[in-house]
Homo-oligomer: A and B are copies of this chain.
């Protein structure tokens, strides 16, 4: 098994059976993280299959393998198969908790959330963890939260995602006093579906700089540091952005007004290969959820992001926010 990296963070634990492609992409991804980025990785999954894949890349002995029998199907939403101790997902979470290493999976978001909560436990004061992803905007970066963790949050959960997102913006993007906007269908207060209208009332009373509602066109405009939404809308928006950037660049390419290889530079800003997946915030541990369709490059990137988050001070609790705010004497 690979040793501790220089920064003192134990190896990244990777759910090798997760994602649409399983070991065919997770194994070369782990090797790339290790070889090209110096990030040690431990693979969790069917040992025989993993050793065979490692052998194909001449990588036997370069990354550790811990055997786990079960595979959680991508269609799995919650408990069920995912909760079985023998699944690579659950076994991986348990291993990461024991070793203190960051955990990465490209499995079904809902199943990852279920297992990660069970293994790591929630941070102090956290009602529900949420997936955060930092998106490049015209002015810097915006944190989108929840990007797919909880499809049906309560208004209280939704409001409190703002605290996790602000904590992330502070820790990872270095924004001193992040603003948070609630994603809705009109800027005016009172606009939205029932969930958003009830969450808005609660959000206004939380210790975070609440901007009010933002709309779909504000997400990439950099209007706020944190865009707060439920996991259903957030996941649709995240994937919509990926598709929309692709389509727009394809239309530009077809118009023959820009060299395709230069357009690819812009495209890369919004692919999982670059952002490396979403961080699951609010747990007593570092967890990164990669896109289900992740190829090796995206898996490698997710491992690097996880190692960086674990080496820094990832926000594990919305308590950080309250502490920071009360000490700034607002």
Tell me the count of chain A residues lying within 8 A, CB to CB, of chain B: 62
Say yes or no: A108 contacts B186, CB within 8 Å. yes
Check: A206 CB closer than 8 A to any chain B CB.
Answer: no
Check: A152 CB closer than 8 A to any chain B CB.
Answer: yes
Tell me the interface secondary structure of chain A in the complex.
helix
> Per-residue CB proximity of A241-252 to B under 8 Å, as 1/0?
111111111111
Bound complex: CA A109 to CA B215 (Å): 14
Say yes or no: A257 contacts B255, CB within 8 Å. no
**A245's closest neighbor in chain B, by CB?**
B248
Given contacts A151-B185, A252-B249, contact A244 B232 (CB under 8 A): no
Q: Which residues of B contact A235 (CB under 8 A)?
A: 185, 216
Bound complex: CA A238 to CA B240 (Å): 10
Say yes or no: A75 contacts B262, CB within 8 Å. no
Q: Which residues of B contact A239 (CB under 8 A)?
A: 185, 215-217
Given contacts A196-B232, A217-B242, A255-B262, contact A189 B75 (CB under 8 A): yes
Bound complex: CA A189 to CA B76 (Å): 10
Bound complex: CA A47 to CA B183 (Å): 37
Bound complex: CA A194 to CA B151 (Å): 8
Check: A41 CB closer than 8 A to any chain B CB.
Answer: no
Bound complex: CA A262 to CA B215 (Å): 27
A101 to chain B, nearest CB (A): 28
A185 to chain B, nearest CB (A): 4
Check: A1 CB closer than 8 A to any chain B CB.
Answer: no
Check: A219 CB closer than 8 A to any chain B CB.
Answer: yes
Bound complex: CA A198 to CA B312 (Å): 42
Check: A148 CB closer than 8 A to any chain B CB.
Answer: yes
- Complex interface: stretch among A9-17, A113-121, A263-271, A279-287: A263-271
Check: A59 CB closer than 8 A to any chain B CB.
Answer: no
> Per-residue CB proximity of A178-216 to B under 8 Å, as 1/0?
000001111011111110100000000000000000011
Check: A176 CB closer than 8 A to any chain B CB.
Answer: no
Say yes or no: A194 contacts B152, CB within 8 Å. yes
Closest 9 CB pairs of A and B: A216-B239, A217-B243, A216-B240, A258-B258, A75-B188, A151-B193, A244-B244, A220-B247, A185-B235
15 pairs of residues in contact across A and B, judged by CB atoms under 8 Å? A148-B185, A184-B232, A192-B232, A196-B232, A216-B235, A217-B239, A217-B240, A217-B246, A218-B243, A220-B243, A233-B236, A237-B240, A245-B248, A248-B249, A252-B258
Told that A74-B188, A138-B250, A216-B241 touch, could you supply 7 new A-B pairs with CB distance under 8 A?
A148-B185, A216-B235, A216-B240, A229-B236, A236-B236, A241-B244, A255-B265
